[in-house]
Structure formats: C-alpha cells, structure tokens
Chain A
C-alpha cells in the first residue's frame, strides 16, 4: 500500500512544476477568454473579477461587424499560402538535400536571408507592384507574399528532415525499380511527414498573426483578422470585450489544426528524435 501511495505522491510532486509552467503560459489565454464573456463593467472592475455572470454580448458585436469575413479571409489565406510554401519548400529542400550543385551553400543562405529582411523594407515595393498588376486588396496578393516569406522557413526545416533520411533507403528503392519520383513519394516523403506537419502549422501561425503586410496591402475586401481587430479601436476607447471575443476566435483555427496533426507535430518539433 505504502509503495503505491508514495509513487502516486512522487508523481504528483513531479507534475507540480509542470502545472505551474502550464498555468503561467496559459494565463493570458484564459484571461482573454474570461474577458470575452465579461460585461463592459466587469472588464474594468478593480480588483479583477474571477467570478462574474457571463454574457454573449461581445460575441454578438463581433459577429455583427466585419470580423467574421476577415477571419474567413485569414483562414483561407493561411491555408493556401501554407500549402504553397510547404509544397514548394518540400521539393526545394529535397533538391538541396539530395543533389550537389555549384553555389549550393550560397543559394541556401540567400533563401534564408529572405527571412532576415524586415517586412517594412519590402512593403512599399510590394504595394506598388500589386497595384500595378491589379492585385491590390486581393486574397491572392497576400497568399503570394506569405508563401514567399514562409518558404525559407519551410526549406530550412525540411532540409534537416530530408538529411536525416538515410541515403541507403532511397538507393534500395532505386534498386527495386523506382524512378526519382517513385523514390521521393514512396520513401523520402513518408519519412518527413512530421516535418511537413510542423512546417504547415508554423506557417499557418505566422500567417494568421501577421499584421503589417496585411494592413498595408489590403483596404476592405481582403482584410485579415488582425487588421480587423482595429475596428474595436473606437472613438469611445478600446472595446476590450470585443477584442477578446475576436481574439479567441482567431486562436481557434490554429488550435484545431494543431490537434489534427498533433501526432506528427511532437516528432516534428523534436526533429524526429522522439519515436
């Protein structure tokens, strides 16, 4: 009896710091969720109220405004640009990992350097470019820009995963009669799925959170969720309840997608180290 109790106790002691860390990091999220259900009076209560009668007024206000359309735009843009970036990134990373060519390192560094560039440095050229070709304030323009910005991350992440695939595994498939595409789809690709899941989730998070590019490149039609949050900045002050309700909706798609691919995500984030 004592054994079992002591092991349960020690396990509880182990979980205590874990609980503390989880509480620390989830506190802002919980705070936002609580605020989303508070009345305007409760939001400004001092000291903060943890027990209050919840209201759906904030969500009603959010749904009546332009935010749902903006959120839909955000989700569409995030998914399409993430797919574009991951598809191109996967093929590029495979090429860098498997084929040797002149100037390879320089090219790889150049791809990474795209990521180092501050967004503000390219925002005006992009704006002019898209206006010239008639793509300003369209979903397509943002999909393209985000895919371009995220591709460097996808390439670097996935190249690491492809490097881990033993060369002999691909050679075995070649011996068995598969051509280059067969080798890629039947051997390399299945083995980097965790990396692809990770790259996709990171791309979606990046895109859904992005503000500056979306703010400059859209006016009304293609407005994304982070930009639409500005509507809660009213002449009467900040609508904290509305912002919180909208923010909770913004988090939802990322959480849903992360849950869908969580099995691969854990292996992906540990770069395949966990079995």
Chain B
C-alpha cells in the first residue's frame, strides 16, 4: 500500500524563478498518475522533488504517511526511469538489474533469482550480457524500467520515458507499460508533455502550467469539463477554438435569453445552458471556446451575423478532414453595429479548426470556399476573460 501526498509544495530557483507553486496532490495506492504540461510548467521539477533530487523551498512530501521531504533519494524507496535512461556504458544489462540490489547488499542467490524474474517479465533474458551500446532504443528503455522495478519500490517515477523512441515503438511501449503497471499494481507518477500519452495511460491527469496545478481529473473529465482556458486549449488535438466575446441581452426572440457578441459573429446562448452558468450577465467579457468536433460545417448561412468563414486548408485524416476556416475575414452586416470592413476587436487572422466527416465532397469545402459554421449547443464553453476560469 503506497500513497503519495504533496502539500503546499514550492520550489524557487535562485531566489526568483518560482518553478513549482503551492502544489497539493494526493496519489492513491496503485494509481497511475500523469503530470501533463508544456515544457517549463514545473512537472519535472515536481517529480524531482518527489525523487529527492531537488529540495523543495517549502512544503511537505509524504509517502505512506511518512514525511520524506528531506530524505536522501536512496532512502525513500522510490525508483525512477530517466528520460535518457541513464544507462552505464561499462555495465551489462544484468549489472544494471543488479545495481540497486547491490546497494541493498542483497545476497547473491536472491540477486540472481530476481534478475531472472525481471528479465523474464521484460522479455530480456537473452540480452542479460549485452552492454548499452548493443541495445536498441526499446531494449535500453526496458533495461531502465527493469532496474527501477527490480527492487519493488513503493513508488515508481517516470520522466518522459517514451520521448526518445520512434512513433511505432512508442505506441507498443505505452501499451506494455500500462499493462505492467496494472499487473504490478505499483503506484506510479509519470511526467509527459504529450497529451495523447497522458490520456491513454493515466488513471488521473494533473495538468500543470506556470508551476501551478491547473486541474486534476481523469481524461474524460479533463476533455469534457476543462477547469480553465489553459486546460481547454492544451488538451485535445486539434486544440479548442477560441474567440473573445461579450455577453449581451438576447434579441433574436429567444425569450429574454443572452447572446454572445464576438468580432466575427453573434450567437444566441441556449437558455437551457445559461441556467448552469455562474454570473453570466450582459456586459461580461468572456472567451468562447468550441472544440473542432463540436462545430458543423455547411453552406453559408443566410442569417446576417451567424458564424461563417473562408476555408483556408483542408487536411485529410483518414476517416475525416480537419478544415481550417478563417472566421473573421468576411465583412459583417452593418445591422449588427459593425459597419463593413475589418472587425474592430481582432484584426489578427482568426482561424478555427473544424472536424468534418470525409463522406462526399462539396465544392465549398475547397480552399477559398465560403462556409457556414454551426455550434453544437453542448459544445459551447465560456471562460472568464480576466481569470480564464470556466464559467460555462
């Protein structure tokens, strides 16, 4: 039984850089927890503090209730797989497996038995006498995993372990890793910047940005209910589409409802959604977010201010197409308070990505064609313009 708890963990480098900021987290026994975030978000620093390779400026780390914040790395009963694998050129695979056991002064017979077991588990029995330079990327990676697992640590840390593998091998290793972790039931913390990896491996994902935890959730919740604009934009490929908007009193006869006014279009907010929203009142500045699959593409609408745009690029993706649409390139109807010409607020080109099914072919789906966009009501996400927290 191994649980990991982080409490108000802070790391400040050389007095100024706040690499990790008030991180609180509880990882349950046997859980596969993934730290996800762009480079420099503090995920690796957090991992290194758990490992003991970095000393927190403040805060506490507990493993199974025992405070380990200031223990030497080797005294924490934590194993780690490094991004570079950290294999020693002068040692064989067998030596690598034995390496942590020798530190524990394990008896020779015991060492031999556990090396055999680990080699069998990782399908490396034939490679025990090979040196790192004779190993392929995948074999080197398995060696590093074997070295970490052989002493049955309480906690297993992995720092971007798949980064140096090619795409095919990465997929295979990902599956193998997930199976191994489930079989052994070992509590795992895994760091990656690759959301696909995180979504497929994790029981729970910790999204980090600027040293802070943005959201802790399983992959489904993360995708469906992002806590803020950063998470919404970071998780999902292609990324969520955004546009600045203002809440306005509805005027298209939807019973005193609300509208979203943007530089490119005006959109009525479905009244059944507005009920859930916190403090949506006319005049509030928000950011509208819509995932590419929550948009439908069609012929240009006749309504004066409905979303529309010009197709820029069409990328075939097997069973679908990703269509890039420039949504603010067209002059808006004068009746909406924005005389023709460039929209006043966003002068930058604003391109939205839309997932479109690949059946049939319409001429307007070629680059340059004019299209209308329909937003699926439940796909609407609103974020506060100032705090970036999700409000709908």
Contact = CB atoms under 8 A, between A and B. Distances in A.
Interface residues of A, number: 18
B90 A182 contact: no
Given A176-B99, A176-B103, A177-B103, A187 B88 contact: yes
A177 B105 CA distance: 10
A173 B87 CA distance: 10
A166 B84 contact: yes
Contacts of A187: 88
A174 B74 contact: yes
Contacts of B79: 175-176
B253 interface: no
B74 A179 contact: yes
B385 to A, nearest CB: 42
Nearest to B144: A172
Contacts of B51: 171, 175
Given A168-B86, A190-B90, A191-B89, A174 B72 contact: yes
A173 B79 CA distance: 10
Contacts of B75: 177
Given A168-B82, A169-B88, A178 B103 contact: yes
A172 B88 CA distance: 10
A3 interface: no
A64 interface: no
Interface string A172-204: 111111110010001100110000000000000
Nearest to B133: A275
Contacts of B353: none
Given A171-B53, A171-B82, A177 B88 contact: no
A172 B90 contact: no
B231 to A, nearest CB: 30
Contact of A191 (B84, B88, B148): B88
Quick one: which of A168, A175, A275 has the most chain B CB within 10 A?
A175
B59 interface: no
Interface in B121-153: 133, 147-148, 151
A275 B86 CA distance: 18
A182 B103 contact: yes
Interface string B84-110: 101111100000000110011000000
Contacts of A191: 88-90
A187 B91 CA distance: 10
A275 B52 CA distance: 33
Contact of B88 (A179, A190, A275): A190
Contacts of A182: 103
B159 to A, nearest CB: 9
B375 to A, nearest CB: 47
Contact of A173 (B83, B89, B99, B104): B99
Contacts, number: 60
Contacts of A173: 99
B34 interface: no
Given A190-B90, A275-B133, A175 B74 contact: yes
A101 to B, nearest CB: 15
B90 A174 contact: no
B80 interface: yes
Contact of A171 (B73, B89, B148): B73
A172 B103 contact: no
Nearest to B103: A177
Interface string A132-167: 000000000000000000000000000000000010
A176 B95 CA distance: 13
Contacts of B88: 169, 187, 190-191
B74 A169 contact: no
A168 B87 CA distance: 9
Contacts of A174: 52-53, 72-74
A173 to B, nearest CB: 7
A172 B80 contact: yes
Interface string B366-389: 000000000000000000000000
A174 B103 CA distance: 10
A190 B132 CA distance: 15
A169 B151 CA distance: 18
Contacts of B207: none
B311 interface: no
A187 to B, nearest CB: 6
Interface in A32-62: none
Nearest to B74: A177
B33 interface: no
B78 interface: yes
A194 B72 CA distance: 31
22 contacts: A171-B73, A171-B82, A172-B82, A174-B53, A174-B72, A175-B73, A175-B148, A176-B74, A176-B100, A176-B147, A176-B151, A177-B74, A177-B75, A177-B100, A177-B151, A178-B74, A179-B72, A179-B74, A187-B88, A190-B88, A191-B88, A191-B90
Given A175-B78, A176-B103, 14 more contacts: A168-B82, A168-B84, A169-B86, A171-B51, A171-B86, A173-B99, A174-B53, A175-B51, A175-B79, A176-B151, A177-B100, A179-B72, A191-B90, A275-B133
The 7 closest A-B pairs by CB, nearest first: A177-B103, A177-B74, A172-B86, A176-B100, A168-B86, A174-B73, A168-B82
